[in-house]
């Protein structure tokens, strides 16, 4: 890698570390009961989220420039220093001196060798995954997985809109004129990397790689906290990161047909279309959410930290810990909205189930729980108002939807059969674990039970226009389920010395993880790659950035994969309708107006003035789908940029009377 690319990456890593230091120091100051791993894994994400949030007002007032980004980093280090060495914090001379070698020996003694090996394996796996996530080839930009191809264009568009367009206060990149009603902090952090000099196509893989490591450390810490057993925590991480349903049956069927085990595994170990044919709709959490949707890299650790703090606070009746949990949960609106919704479902049940005697309401620390919710609301509501503009957003589509997607045509699966094939042995083992005794500490068992209502609610109501989006909260039910199942399997392993029983238990784990293992193999072999943009589209995006003002308004970019949305950083009158639909944005009138603009129908000039459009982009799709009247544009307006198949017409003269 050339030095010109390495230095911005190192600077971005230092920036990330500076933000992380604040969260680590805050937990060291206010939650010293947490283990060092918890303080590091959760604290790093907490600091990154808080520091990124601080960039919003800073960039709004001063601009999104390197001095502002570096200023936030320096301020973060300053706050961390005050938390550690200020009044009430740890002091340099606290405690007896400990030799460095003794510290390393003590740390090595605490390490779980199996968990360490698992984390090392995942680091290598994710290094390979994200090295091919976005790649430039002679024919264009390619994504290394179907989910990256479908989800990352939106994230890349938000990143470039911040970095190249100075999008502060944040405006929706796909619908100019309304607030960015999205949890955008996980894209604002990579945008800061671009400001520090990194290539836009490198920041998402780099950021996802680092945060994936923190997420898996947090997963292990969470399962270890609740179970108290290393092997349970390690198995829970395996089940969560590699867990899924019976989709692997499609591969077995193909092997049975071809009679070629190694040929099938080498050429087509995973078939996404076959999953659709089987009506497999509950996807592997890492591929479908942490890798592709990215905001879970912030939301998941914050959720686990919040629950960890609440379990401790409820046990000790600690008002300060309740308040700290409220602050952490309050960061979720701009970090990850589905996590906010999931916690809102879980916390009422936590309040009851964490009490020693839930049936005796007097034993519940009501003052603490009320304080937690008051702090949570106080921190979260201002963000929600800025984010949603006082409206309900996608939640306006809330409705009764019995059975979730089980009955979707043409499958019309019975509810029980849908879940059995989508989760396999997770379902019967989960039911056994719910009723089992002594597989977990009683308080931890009850804490995990508090996640179970998510499953009931998600199978009864739909929260967003696309009912599949219930999956975004079901992931938290699945997290609790994996810990329960891991505890049951480890207990069964320890209680039996029979080789047959232990081989059977290994087979059970294989059935629950084989599908994602095959999907990982498929990705490693280079299958399932999709082109996001052609070379010409990359060229027109670069030309638009060169010749237009960062705040310019463009008409165009209405496809799911589009250079205007992904790489120009300019304002779009309207982007891809599908993304607007799932966000609950009423786009239909503007879509009709854009149709009039392209055809140069009656009132087109007035619409261009009304929306203050600067440039109209006409490419292959605008000609074929929108029937653009290019002759009318060519006769009236100059061409600001062009390639073989794209023309960018400068229509600013309409506003000046030219």
Q: Where are the beta strands (DSSP E) in 455-552?
A: 461-462, 530-534
Asked if omega into 410 is within 30° of 0 (cis), the reply is yes
Order of all β-strands in the sheet with 530-534: 134-137, 140-143, 530-534
β 571-572/553-555 pair status: parallel
Q: Is the dihedral of CA 98, 100, 105, 108 positive or negative?
A: positive
Instruction: Find out whether 134 and 152 touch, Cβ atoms under 8 Å.
Output: yes
Instruction: Find out whether 26 and 43 touch, Cβ atoms under 8 Å.
Output: yes
What predicted TM-score, i.e. pTM, was given to this entire model?
0.95
Instruction: Find out whether 302 and 332 touch, Cβ atoms under 8 Å.
Output: yes
Residue 501 vs residues 108, 229, 232, 612: alpha-carbon distances, Å: 33, 21, 18, 71
DSSP 534: E
User: Among candidates 250, 303, 414, which has minimal Cα distance to 49?
Assistant: 303
Give the pLDDT score at 244.
93
- In angstroms, rounded to a whole number, what is the distance separating the alpha carbons of residues 532 and 356? 54
Give the pLDDT score at 607.
97
Residue 594 vs residues 564, 572, 597, 645: alpha-carbon distances, Å: 15, 11, 5, 20
Architecture of domain 532-656: 3-Layer(aba) Sandwich (3.40)
In whole angstroms, what separates CA 640 from the centre of its chain? 37
- In angstroms, rounded to a whole number, what is the distance separating the alpha carbons of residues 50 and 20? 9
**Helix 200-227 crosses helix 471-495 at what angle (to 10 degrees)?**
50
Q: Is the dihedral of CA 614, 620, 625, 628 positive or negative?
A: positive
Residue 123 φ/ψ, nearest 5 degrees: -60, -45
DSSP characters over 337-375: HHHHHHHHHHHHHHHHHTSSSTTSGGGS-HHHHHHHHHH
- In angstroms, rounded to a whole number, what is the distance separating the alpha carbons of residues 383 and 391? 13
In whole angstroms, what separates CA 650 from the centre of its chain? 37
| C-beta atoms surrounding 561 within 10 Å | 18
Q: What residue spans define the domains of the chain?
A: 240-292+396-519, 532-656
Two tokens, residue 526: 């280079």
- In angstroms, rounded to a whole number, what is the distance separating the alpha carbons of residues 515 and 503? 19
User: Among candidates 578, 572, 579, which has minimal Cα distance to 597?
Assistant: 572
Give the pLDDT score at 557.
81
Residue 356 φ/ψ, nearest 5 degrees: -60, -40
- In angstroms, rounded to a whole number, what is the distance separating the alpha carbons of residues 223 and 207? 24
Residue 401 φ/ψ, nearest 5 degrees: -150, 80
Could you tell me the end-to-end alpha-carbon distance of the chain, in angstroms, rounded to an integer? 50
Four-point Cα dihedral 565, 568, 572, 577, nearest 10:
-10
β 140-143/399-400 pair status: unpaired
In whole angstroms, what separates CA 628 from the centre of its chain? 37
Two tokens, residue 563: 């250079």
Give the pLDDT score at 393.
72
- In the chain (658 residues long), the average pLDDT of successive 10-residue segments reads 80 98 97 96 98 97 97 98 85 49 53 92 97 96 96 97 96 95 96 97 98 98 97 98 94 93 93 92 95 97 98 95 98 97 97 84 91 97 86 79 91 93 96 94 96 97 92 97 98 94 97 96 93 97 97 93 96 95 93 96 96 97 94 97 97 83
- In angstroms, rounded to a whole number, what is the distance separating the alpha carbons of residues 306 and 31? 12
Specify burial of residue 356 (Cβ count, 10 A radius: 0-12, 13-18, 19+). Answer: exposed
Instruction: Find out whether 228 and 441 touch, Cβ atoms under 8 Å.
Output: yes
Per the document, the length of the chain is: 658
- In angstroms, rounded to a whole number, what is the distance separating the alpha carbons of residues 601 and 598? 8
DSSP 452: H
Give the pLDDT score at 405.
94
Residue 536 vs residues 102, 138, 154: alpha-carbon distances, Å: 59, 11, 20
Two tokens, residue 503: 């081989």
């Amino acid at each position: 890698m050339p030095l010109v690319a390495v230095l911005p990456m190192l600077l971005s890593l230092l920036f990330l570390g500076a933000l992380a230091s604040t969260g680590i120091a805050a937990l060291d100051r206010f939650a010293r009961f947490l283990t060092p791993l918890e303080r590091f894994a959760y604290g790093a994400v907490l600091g990154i989220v808080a520091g990124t949030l601080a960039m919003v007002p800073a960039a709004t007032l001063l601009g999104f420039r390197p001095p502002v980004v570096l200023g936030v980093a320096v301020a973060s280090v300053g706050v961390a220093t005050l938390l550690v060495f200020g009044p009430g914090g740890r002091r340099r001379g606290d405690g007896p001196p400990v030799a460095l070698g003794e510290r390393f020996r003590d740390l090595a003694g605490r390490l779980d060798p199996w968990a360490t090996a698992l984390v090392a394996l995942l680091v290598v796996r994710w290094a390979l995954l994200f090295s091919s996530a976005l790649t430039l080839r002679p024919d264009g930009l390619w994504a290394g997985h179907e989910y990256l191809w479908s989800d990352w264009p939106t994230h890349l568009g938000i990143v470039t809109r911040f970095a190249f367009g100075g999008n502060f206060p944040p405006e929706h990149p796909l619908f100019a004129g309304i607030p960015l009603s999205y949890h955008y902090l996980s894209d604002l952090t990579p945008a800061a990397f671009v400001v520090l000099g990194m290539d836009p196509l490198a920041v998402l893989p780099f950021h996802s790689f680092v945060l994936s490591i923190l997420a898996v450390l947090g997963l292990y810490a969470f399962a270890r906290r609740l179970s108290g057993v290393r092997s349970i925590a390690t198995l829970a991480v395996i089940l969560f990161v590699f867990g899924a349903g019976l989709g692997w049956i499609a591969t077995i069927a193909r092997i049975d047909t071809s009679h070629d085990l190694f040929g099938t595994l080498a050429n087509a170990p995973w078939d996404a279309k076959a999953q659709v044919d089987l009506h497999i709709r509950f996807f592997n959490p890492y591929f479908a959410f942490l890798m592709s949707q990215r905001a879970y890299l912030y939301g998941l650790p914050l959720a686990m930290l919040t629950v960890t703090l609440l379990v401790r606070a409820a046990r000790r009746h600690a008002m300060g810990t309740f308040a700290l949990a409220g602050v952490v949960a309050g960061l979720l609106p701009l970090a990850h909205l589905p996590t906010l919704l999931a916690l809102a479902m879980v916390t009422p049940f936590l309040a009851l189930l964490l009490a020693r005697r839930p049936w005796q309401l007097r034993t519940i620390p009501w003052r603490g729980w009320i304080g937690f919710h008051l702090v949570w609301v106080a921190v979260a509501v201002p963000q929600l108002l800025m984010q949603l503009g006082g409206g309900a957003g996608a939640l306006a589509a809330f409705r009764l939807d019995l059975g979730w997607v089980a009955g979707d045509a043409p499958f019309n699966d019975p509810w029980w059969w849908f879940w059995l094939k989508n989760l396999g042995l997770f379902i019967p083992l989960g039911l056994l674990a719910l009723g089992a005794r002594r597989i977990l500490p009683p308080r931890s068992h009850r804490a995990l039970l508090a996640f179970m209502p998510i499953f009931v609610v998600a199978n009864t109501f739909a929260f967003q226009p696309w009912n599949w989006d219930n999956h975004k909260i079901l992931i938290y039910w699945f997290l609790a389920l994996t810990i329960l199942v891991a505890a049951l399997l480890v207990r069964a392993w320890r209680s039996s010395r029979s080789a047959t029983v232990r081989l059977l238990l290994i087979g059970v784990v294989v059935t629950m993880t084989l599908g994602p293992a095959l999907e990982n193999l498929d990705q490693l072999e280079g299958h399932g790659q999709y082109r996001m943009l052609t070379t010409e589209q990359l060229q027109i995006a670069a030309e638009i950035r060169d010749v237009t003002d960062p705040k310019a308004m463009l008409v165009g970019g209405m496809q799911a994969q589009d250079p205007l949305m992904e790489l120009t950083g300019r304002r779009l009158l309207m982007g891809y309708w599908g993304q607007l639909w799932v966000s609950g944005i009423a786009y239909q009138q503007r879509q009709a107006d854009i149709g009039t603009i392209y055809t140069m129908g009656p009132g087109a000039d007035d619409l261009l003035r009304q929306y203050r459009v600067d440039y109209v982009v006409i490419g292959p799709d605008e000609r074929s789908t929108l029937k653009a009247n290019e002759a009318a544009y060519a006769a009236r307006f100059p061409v600001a940029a062009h390639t073989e198949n794209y023309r960018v017409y400068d229509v600013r003269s309409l506003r000046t009377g030219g």
